[in-house]
Structure 1
Amino acid sequence: MSADPRRLHPGRPLHGSPAATPARLAVLPSRLLGQAAMRAGRIVDERLAAAGARRWHYGVLAALDEHGPASQAELSRRTGIYRSDMVAVLNELSAQRNVERAPDPGDRRRNVITLTAAGRRHLERLDALVAEAQDALLAPLTEPQRAELVRLLARLTDGGHP
């Protein structure tokens, strides 16, 4: 275990702390968004890990719950998970009995993935954990500020279209 750098060098800012960040970097929206995204990912990952889940699991379960049964390719498009990674995610979810795979009656070459009752219960638990993560991430903001942040981020992720 390494020593706390604050004890070795009192008064010196820690690496990565706001005081150590060059001023021109500290005001770059792209950098701030990246740092916020990393922090958000860490918080969500920690919460989901408490239930033995990952973000990919949550995304697939949410997509199946919202859109119904889907092929692996459809799930890849809806969640942004690469097809090659989707197989591993579905293997994990299937082993946990959260999803079922069955041959597509219209095209036997592909499988249809369906959310199970256990998967729906698991998703409800993950929804609660993700909500906790959002609260932890946005704790410094008021409710109106949270709503405004979501509105602005949605606008940015839509490519700037109103």
Structure 2
Amino acid sequence: MAASPSDSLGFLLSFRGELTGARIRAALGVAGLHPRHAMTLMQLAPGAMSQRELAAAMEIDPSQLVAVLNELEGEGLAERRRDPADRRRHIVKITDAGATALERVEAAVSEAERELFADLSEAEKVLLRGLLDRVSVEKGDHDCSAG
């Protein structure tokens, strides 16, 4: 007898991930942002950081980050400045407009998550988060630019 797609954890996770991703992208669209832009703003919200640190935190290639930052700067949502201590480094920070956009993103994503995970208890959500954190994904096989 052939295995059901739900018998394969990888397939099930991929399928549910695509559905979840579509729902989150729709929420971000309402806020006017692409997922990679939202992820970048979320990383920058706590404070400015070097472009290299940001690429590492987002686990994306620095050349991909440059494109994202160019788009965010064009929209006035983030800015890059040379580091006065090391002119070769760029420091990236979220702008006031970026912080406002991020508030819209957080509200839209929170609503989507309430709907997506409505049938899960708080303990189950904590368990799910912990399990997903343990799923091994080779670096370079993923990025936040999907979509």
On whether the aligned pair clears a TM of 0.5, the verdict is: yes
8 Å CA contact 1:56–1:81 kept in 2: the answer is: no
Larger Rg: 1
Cα drift, residue 103 of structure 1: 0.9
Q: CA RMSD in A?
A: 2.1
Aligned counterparts of 1:123 and 1:151: Cα–Cα separation in 2: 25
What's the TM-score once normalised by structure 2's chain length? Answer: 0.81
2:95 corresponds to? 116
The equivalent position to 1:44 in structure 2, one of 24, 37, 54, is 24
The question of 1:30 aligning with 2:45 is answered no
- Structure 2 stretches of 5 or more lacking a match? 138-147
Runs of 4+ in 1 over 4 A off after TM superposition: none
What's the TM-score once normalised by structure 1's chain length? Answer: 0.74
> Which is bigger in relative contact order (C-alpha 8 A, separation at least 6)?
2
Aligned counterparts of 1:132 and 1:143: Cα–Cα separation in 2: 16
Counterpart of 2:19, as a letter, is R
Counterpart of 1:70, as a letter, is M
Counterpart of 1:36, as a letter, is R
Mapping 1:1-162, distance limit 5 Å: 23-66=3-46, 68-156=47-135
